[in-house]
Structure 1
Amino acid sequence: MGEWSDVCVLVPTYNEAAAIGDVVDGFREQGFEHVLVMDGGSSDRTREIAREHGAEVRQQTGSGKGQAVREAIALIKQPYVLLVDGDATYRPEDAPAILDPLLDGDAEHVIGNRFADMEPGAMSRLNRVGNRLINSAFRFVHGRDFADILSGYRAFTTESVRRFALTADGFGIETEMAVECVKHGVPTEVVPITYQSRPDAADTNLNPFRDGAVILLTLYRMAKTNNPLFYFGSIGSLSVLAGIVLGAYVAVEWFTRNISHEVIAILATLAIIFGVQLLIFGVLSDMIVTLHREQLHFIERVASEGRHTAIEGDDAGDGNAGQNGTSERS
């Protein structure tokens, strides 16, 4: 029981009465003492059932999974957090595999990869395609391959997540966490897990089209500070392309029909100038972000060396104190 005493199992819920009891029981049977259920105002018996099975239950002030995670992080006292959905699609038996890289000091954020072992029917074909699309977009925009950034089963150090600027209210929270890991250089590992089918009585709170669009917009929005060259460059490229198309139309009309389109020509020129300016701004922003990251890494390295020096000094002081005590006794 003691090895998991530093871990808080965080379970955001909304109308999960059909599954929450089994989820809480499963993690308590694995030896987890601290199970925190953050409820988003369920209209069923989710909160009562979670309490009956031994979980600490809090009702969040707002709504949405992202809001639940943010409020919970402010409350949690344990140094490690195991985040899991309350719909019984994740196995408590996979928890040690997710937590081991944290406890061994090899990572500060661990993502469970559902695609490594997915039960038949656990995810619809539409959701599977959407997940692949979003993971590919993340890899292209942010330059890292985390295999399954939308996984609801992950673990992280409380300290690392408190450095993140998390603003998403709903299912975009996993995307924000993945982007913030890249942005802050947080050591991140991906481990294989089993993804189970949802219990028959448990309804999903996910809307594939609405939530998928929100996640893609979150990916793009966060590129502004993590990959500004892509963010501003994409807008600038579209503007230049639009200007070229309009300019080509004006040229064709002039040479073939001797018709001038002064207003369209002005718009085309402005679009090209605006696009080029955005491209230049994107390059400059990318240089600033790169320099900022290098400074942060330097500061963190200096702080780490300072901590090691202080620890060595304390150890040396303890050793001298012990020798002095021995001499005095002699």
Structure 2
Amino acid sequence: MVSQKIAILIPCYNEALTIGKVVADFKMHLPYAEIYVYDNNSKDETVAIAKKSGAIVKHEKKQGKANVIFKMFREIDADLYIMIDGDDTYPVDCIKQMVDQFTENNCDMLVGDRLSNKSYKNENKRAFHNFGNNLVRALINVFFGSDLKDILSGYRIFSRKFVKNYSSSIKGFELETDLSIYALHYGLTIEEYSIHYRDRPEGSESKLNTFTDGFKVIKLFFNLVRLYKPLLFFGTVALLLFTLGLIFMVVPIREYFEYQYVYKVPTLIFSIMLIIVSLLSFATGLILDNISIIDAKNFKVRYNNTL
């Protein structure tokens, strides 16, 4: 494990209260790793404290956690990457066990699972966060045929191949959802390690907005279903439109058989339009599904050839 070049990635925005402890914990439990703190326009003493603690400090001006992580992935060269928040909510004392599991099982991504025990439910004081976590987890597991316990954890380990091949257009806290669905779509090896989550210390404020960020995550999920499972997405739309078309067509058909004449011509035209659009939607799904299959095959070639 020591022979691997390990990089600790800590994106930060106003984490002066906790960043020093997070860096110190990694220096204690993983002394041979390089610790990177990328500041995202903090207004407090985050940068000064991180430097004093011995971290390599850099900056990302584009606001948003995803923007920071993308820059880290692009600039930092390592064999193994550990992503963690700077708010001291994730335990560092188990990091050696996490790295061992990741290395021994040749994972592409290992997720720090907060939800398999009661620590997150007991510690997290933010309303609706437990509900949001369960909803997103259920949606992804159903649509992608997985059995992941924690979709939104910000504590993850990545392989070099994962980091150098990952790409996305998101900007903020939807990052964890995108990482999970990306790995599931391309058939990468994902494992989880149960951790004990703790809430932020008093005086430390979360940057998450329960409803705004929750809506963004749900919106991202359906956009990714459209992107990664186009036949399912457009096929569902086609089925709904086709069903509506048949329902609207009942009245004109009944009129024709009863009076040998259609009085509600606009209804007939509307129903035919719905059926035509449904067929176009289904055809679109078929075409995009073939493109998605080809993309997945090309991705595997690129991924396996990454040094």
Q: TM-score, normalised by structure 2?
A: 0.87
CA distance in 2, matches of 1:91, 1:253: 70
Tell me the CA shift for residue 188 of structure 1: 1.2
Residue number among 167, 171, 177 corresponding to 1:175 in the alignment: 177
Tell me the CA shift for residue 165 of structure 1: 2.0
Amino acid at match of 1:272: I
Deviation track 1:275-294 (CA, whole Å, cap 9, x = no partner) reads 12212432443345345545
SS of structure 2 residue aligned to 1:82: strand
Higher alpha-carbon deviation: 63-72 or 12-21: 12-21
Residue number among 194, 206, 212 corresponding to 2:214 in the alignment: 212
User: Does structure 1 residue 286 correspond to structure 2 residue 256?
Assistant: no
CA distance in 2, matches of 1:123, 1:49: 27
SS of structure 2 residue aligned to 1:131: helix
Aligned residues: 303
Tell me the CA shift for residue 255 of structure 1: 9.7
CA distance in 1, matches of 2:201, 2:230: 42
Deviation track 1:86-144 (CA, whole Å, cap 9, x = no partner) reads 11110101212322233225211111111123432325451101111001111122222
CA distance in 1, matches of 2:196, 2:254: 59
Tell me the CA shift for residue 295 of structure 1: 6.6
For 1:16, the equivalent position in structure 2 comes to 15
User: Does structure 1 residue 7 correspond to structure 2 residue 19?
Assistant: no
Amino acid at match of 1:82: I
For 1:95, the equivalent position in structure 2 comes to 95
Does the CA-based 8 Å contact 2:98-2:193 persist in structure 1? yes
Amino acid at match of 2:57: V
CA distance in 2, matches of 1:244, 1:192: 50
1:30–1:4 distance in 2 versus 1, CA, 3 Å: farther
Deviation track 1:20-76 (CA, whole Å, cap 9, x = no partner) reads 111111111112441111111011111111111111111103010000000011111
Tell me the CA shift for residue 168 of structure 1: 1.1
Larger Rg: 1
CA distance in 2, matches of 1:302, 1:146: 24
CA distance in 2, matches of 1:41, 1:296: 34
Aligned runs of 1:1-330 on 2, under 5 Å?
3=2, 6-32=5-31, 33-119=33-119, 120-124=122-126, 126-248=128-250, 260-290=263-293, 293=296, 299=301
Does the CA-based 8 Å contact 1:142-1:226 persist in structure 2? no
Amino acid at match of 1:127: H
SS of structure 2 residue aligned to 1:232: helix
SS of structure 2 residue aligned to 1:189: strand
Amino acid at match of 1:225: L
CA distance in 2, matches of 1:200, 1:253: 71
Tell me the CA shift for residue 205 of structure 1: 0.6
Which one scores higher on RCO, CA 8 angstroms, separation ≥ 6? 2
RMSD: 2.9
Does the CA-based 8 Å contact 1:94-1:194 persist in structure 2? no
Does the CA-based 8 Å contact 1:7-1:81 persist in structure 2? yes
1:76–1:291 distance in 2 versus 1, CA, 3 Å: closer
Higher alpha-carbon deviation: 17-26 or 247-256: 247-256
CA distance in 2, matches of 1:78, 1:17: 27
